[in-house]
Structure 1
Amino acid sequence: MMKVPTTKKENFYFGMMMCVGMVIMMTTYNLITNGLIGNISLAAVLLQFVLGFMIAFLLELFVVGPAAKKIVFSITRNKSSKMIMIVAMAFFMVIGMVTFMSMYGLASSYYADGLPGESLLGSYFSIFIKNFVFALPLQLLIVGPIVRFLFGKLKANRMNESLTTV
């Protein structure tokens, strides 16, 4: 059974878990594709993770998450199918997060070494496509299922603890 958050508190923790997984994977992917692994210090890599997580989590919590939920609930007819809801939510979350996080990536690239020979818009779309192609399957096939599994385990453990203390 796929576990999804049902309260605001659960949604907060679920979003945090999802952001940690996606930021680790996407930051690593971008460092590798830009040839930066081994060329920047461990401190710089950790800074990228921390900044990426903070920005992603705030976006997920206040901008992309609420917008994606509104879109999903307005376009899905079969709200009883958890699978359809999960896939639709993942799709719209990825579109929103890649849209904004690609801006962050563009700003980071520009700050680090400028935009070598590409226009700002061309660079943005290049980053967006590269990130979207990686992020969607990552979310649907790896990070999403792992986070839902772990979230379900944590939720079940918490329910068992509350039952045993009664």
Structure 2
Amino acid sequence: MTDDAPFWKRKSLGEMTKEEWESLCDGCGRCCLHKLRDDETDEIHYTNVACRLLDLETCRCSDYMHRFRKVRDCVSLTPALMEEIDWLPPTCGYRLVHEGRDLPEWHPLRSGNEESVHQAHISGQGRIVSERRAGALEDYVADWPGEYPSSLPLPPLIRRHKP
């Protein structure tokens, strides 16, 4: 891999700077949607109900700096945690890079446009509801947050050179 290749193609998640790590978030809001785990099967059921801090229009946290104080179960995503969690959506930049894949064309790092995630209909924009307005989560189970759109190609695997 050449030095002029984008950082996500050259570096593992653990090698990234804080700024590089943060930029992998595409702003889709899918990880901020509530999920239900079946006690018997361990299966994850995604909902279209968003954390109360998620801005439903921008699909970004409205208080990112203070989110852990306001939302006790908010997860601080780290490279080490990527080995343990199984609920990140299949479109997630963190998940894709962790799986050894390139970022898709609609990802803001590739497109140069923060709106591209919304334009590609990857984000929750226009199809999520705040937990402040929702009722029982079971009434809001949705398939789309846990699916990679079949109309879009899955990004290819990246071949990284190990030193």
Q: Is the TM-score greater than 0.5?
A: no
**Which structure is higher in helix share?**
1
Q: TM-score, normalised by structure 2?
A: 0.31
Higher gyration radius (CA) = 1
